[in-house]
Amino acid sequence: MTACIRVPRSTLAALLALAPATLIPMAAGAQSADAFYKSRNEMTIIISSAPGGSYDIYGRMITRHMSKYLPGNPTIISNNMPGAGGMRAANYLYEVAPKDGSVISIMDRGIVTAPLLYGAESKAQFEATKFNWIGSAVIEMGMGAISAKAPATTLEEMKKTEVVFGASGPETDPAMYARLFNKLYGTKIKVIAAYPGQSDTLQAVERGELHGLFLSGWSGAGRAFVKDKVKRGEWKVFVQMTSRKDEEHLDAPSVFDVIPGEQNKQILTLLFERQILGRPFVAPPGVPADRVKMLRDAFKRALEDKQLLSEAAKQRYAISPVFGEEAQQIVQRIYATSGETIDATRALLKSAQ
């Protein structure tokens, strides 16, 4: 005879009340990627900078087309989350955002190596290799640009005369480039790391509030803005932060041309490897593998979409994509850099502050 266990009504009621809260997430996690995205009306992209900048434009434009290639065509809502040069958004994606594939981000590539380069001093709360890398819209190069009205307009002149540049955070590429030149080349570049985004920094130069800036990307609105200013003789490009020079500015030297020494070359290689990531799109860690694959496939198809390519061309935004698995490998390769080179780079960055 089977024993019958009586459960008090109060306990049974409590268990039944808990059931929806516990079973629904389990069911969602067990869904196939196809079923998951078909069940969603909306998704979110976290944009790591203020509205109007290149990251914002790329993020909105690409996710608008990505939606077409996801089951159910969910609307991807943009959520701008500027702060600390993109660190706020990266930490949110890693620590807080749902790990189910419903939230992605376009991340500032300078933040990718913040834990590696700044160690315990970094405000990073993430491990970059654990993110799911979806791909990048473009392979980037950095540029140093300065107003023709500045008291110094060449690297040699900047050794003698202080110039004031802007950046959105102390761990971003524009701020780091200034520290590198101050330490390795002897320039006197002061950085004010208080601007929400690149477009704000460009306008501050126009107002005479700043003398110039390092553009960490040479593919979006900033590129078009500076090229127009250079053609009119109002600005100058004084250095290229890449080993592959822009043919329109061959008179501006590459950083590899002006900074000597084999160890310095290894440091520069570490710092500029992430330029390949350009405008990286990322999903949090823990997203089911089939959903990551679906996001990567949708991203790839969007970047090959003729309508997107036409839209980007009209806005003068470059498209030279890097896709998911390659982006993941690049991050893995960066974090496999020898300890000796990492230590030398950390020491350089610290002493250059």
Fold of 142-273: D-Maltodextrin-Binding Protein; domain 2 (3.40.190)
Instruction: Please compute the mean of the pLDDT values over residues 6-35 and round it to a whole number.
Output: 55
Instruction: Please compute the mean of the pLDDT values over residues 174-202 and round it to a whole number.
Output: 92
The pLDDT of residue 260? 85
How sure is the predictor about 28, in pLDDT bands with cuts at 50, 70 and 90? low
The average confidence (pLDDT) of the chain is 89
How sure is the predictor about 274, in pLDDT bands with cuts at 50, 70 and 90? confident
pLDDT at 69 over 80: yes
Instruction: Please give the residue that has the higher pLDDT: either 186 or 16.
Output: 186
Q: Which of 294, 298, 256, 300 is nearest to 275 (CA)?
A: 256
Q: Which of 209, 229, 199 is nearest to 165 (CA)?
A: 209
What is the tens place of the pLDDT at every residue in 216-242? 878 777 888 999 999 999 999 999 988
The pLDDT of residue 14? 43
Domain with CATH 3.40.190.10 in the chain: 142-273
pLDDT at 22 over 50: no
Instruction: Please compute the mean of the pLDDT values over residues 301-312 and round it to a whole number.
Output: 97
Domain with CATH 3.40.190.150 in the chain: 33-139+276-351
Q: Report which listed range, 10-24, 151-165, 220-234, 271-285, is most confident.
A: 151-165
pLDDT at 139 over 60: yes
How sure is the predictor about 272, in pLDDT bands with cuts at 50, 70 and 90? confident
CATH superfamily of the domain spanning 33-139+276-351? Bordetella uptake gene, domain 1 (3.40.190.150)
How sure is the predictor about 29, in pLDDT bands with cuts at 50, 70 and 90? low
